[in-house]
Structure 1
Amino acid sequence: MIEVRVFRAIDDPDACQKYIDGHRRILEIHGVTKITSYKHDWMNDKHTMVILVEEQESKRVLGGARLQLRRSGMSLPIELALYKYDEKILNMVRDAELNGGTSELCGLWNSMEVAGMGIGSYILSRIGAAISSQLPITSIFVLCSPVTVRMGRRVGAVVESTLGNNGLFYYPKDDLIATAMLLSDCDTLVNADASERELIFDLRANPIQSRLERGPKGQFELNYDLVINQLDYHDISNK
């Protein structure tokens, strides 16, 4: 059985380390050895939420992602990754922070064991949008690989065409392309596909549930626990 849970990074350092180790192995398989996500100061940040996919019995980590809230003094990974190519990303993120609060969904990965099940793209992206309702944010930045741009669009994100080359960057290395996208309406998701919006709103209304998911490689049951425990809304709202 596969399960997914969400927690503040500071509340489970052991799980954070397993997430980091798994992400590093996947990046190395693809020849990526330097990336802004390798900076692990987020582990001590109460504004970072970790989405972790595990095998229920063994607690083996199968994938994950982070939703990092932008707070003064700690830049988002997309800022660190892109500002040397296009400084406009800094003002864009700052304005989004001032306009209701912003964040970044980053560090998405899944193990080879569950490749083709849609976990590292569809499910993690959907969960990122779903848990935003528990947080003081109205927007989510994401730096997508070519295979995840479509999922970004499905949940309502749009390409930030004013950045880079119509939103495209050669990152994290010269033979790879990344696309800067922004989900600017977390509450309403007006740009999301109707079916995707329905799934996200269902996860918000029922954050603890079991669902039969359908990925490219067939069906599997997934247990969700998307309640962020020990979350002090006033505390995370303070900068």
Structure 2
Amino acid sequence: MINVRVFRAPDDPEACMRFYTGHLKLLEIYFGIAQVTSGSADWMQHENTIVIIVEDDTRTKTYGGARVQIADGILPLPIETAIGKYDEKIYSYVKKGSAEICGMWNSKEVAGMGIGSQVLARVGVVLGAQLPIDTYHVLCAPITTRVGKRVGFVIDESLGNNGTFFYPKDDFLATAMVINDPYALPYADPKEKLLIADLRENPIQSKIEVGPKGSYEVNYSLKIPTHAHSTT
């Protein structure tokens, strides 16, 4: 059984650590990258970082995850740190009301199941409806731009070279994408929109997901905890 749950980063340090080490290991194995901005650990203490984690029933094995970071003027969004040196416009552009889906990864064991390409991307967009935001950013590798498009992102041509940058290394291309209406998702694929709507209406549910390697059951728990002292 695969469980997908969300929490505010400071509420579960142990799960944050599993997320962090899994993500780092993957970046090193596949890309030889030890340092990417979404790989820094500052987010672990950050109240306005929502962690999406994919784990087993025992909550000891982590299969992947992603983060949703809300712009609050305290911790810069990874996209600001990543592309600020290429395009300063990003700083004035990312303001209160913005959030970013970042740090998305899945382990080798679940490769091909659609955890990263379907489940995590969808859940990230599902959460947008629970947040006080009007703009959603993401920085995609070439292979994931089509995933972004499916869940409603469009290429943000106002940044960089028509939306593209060399990042995190000079031979890697990254594409800045944006959703300007996280509620209505006007550009999302119609079938995807129905799946997103279902999870928004029923954030706690079990359902069968069908990935490239067949179907599997997922337990979703997608209600973001509210904190009295948070800005959300």
The counterpart of 1:123, out of the listed 116, 119, 125, is 119
Aligned counterpart, 2:11: 11
What are the within-5 Å matches in structure 2 for residues 71-150 of structure 1?
Answer: 71-94=72-95, 97=96, 101-150=97-146
**Alignment deviations for residues 175-201 of structure 1 (CA, whole Å, 9 cap, x no partner):** 211100011111111111111111111
2:206 aligned residue: 210
Q: What amino acid is the match of 2:227?
A: D
Deviation at 1:235, TM superposition (A): 2.8
SS across alignment from 1:106: strand
Give unmatched runs, 5+ long, in structure 2.
Answer: none
Matched residue type, 2:124: G
Is the Cα–Cα contact under 8 Å of residues 136 and 233 in structure 1 kept in the other structure?
A: no
Deviation per residue, 1:54-107 (Å, 9 max, x gap): 01136300000000000023210000000101111112213xx3xxx1100000
Larger deviation, residues 75-84 vs 168-177: 168-177
Distance of 1:162 and 1:227 partners within structure 2: 33
Give distance in 2, aligned partners of 1:58 and 1:104. Answer: 25
d(CA) in 1 for partners of 2:126 and 2:138? 15
Residues 1:37 and 2:38 are matched in the alignment: yes
Moved over 3 A (4+): none
2:39–2:103 contact (8 Å) kept in structure 1: no
The one-letter amino acid of 1:120's match is G
Matched position secondary structure for 1:62:
strand
- How has the CA–CA distance of structure 1 residues 199 and 234 changed in structure 2, closer, same or farther, with 3 Å as cutoff? farther
Deviation of 1:133 after TM superposition, in Å, equals 1.5
2:63: which partner in 1? 62
Contact 1:108 1:121 survives alignment (8 Å): no
8 Å contact from structure 1 (residues 76, 103) kept in 2: yes
Distance in 1, Cα, partners of 2:189 & 2:16: 32
Deviations 1:124-165 (A, max 9, x none): 111011111111112210000111101111111110112112
Q: Distance in 1 between matches of 2:174 and 2:140?
A: 5
Tell me what 1:27 maps to.
27
Matched AA of 1:152: G
TM-score by length of 1: 0.93
Q: CA 1:71 to 1:58, structure 2 compared with 1: closer, same or farther past 3 Å?
A: closer
1:235 aligns with 2:221: no
Aligned to 2:158: 162
Shift of 1:234: 7.0
- In the other structure, the counterpart of 1:47 is 48
Out of 199, 223, 226, the residue aligned to residue 222 of structure 2 is: 226
Q: Which amino acid aligns with 2:11?
A: D
1:172 Cα offset (Å): 0.6
1:137 is paired with a residue of what secondary structure? coil
- Counterpart Cα distance in 1 of 2:85 and 2:149: 26
In 1, are the aligned partners of 2:23 and 2:39 still within 8 Å (CA)? no
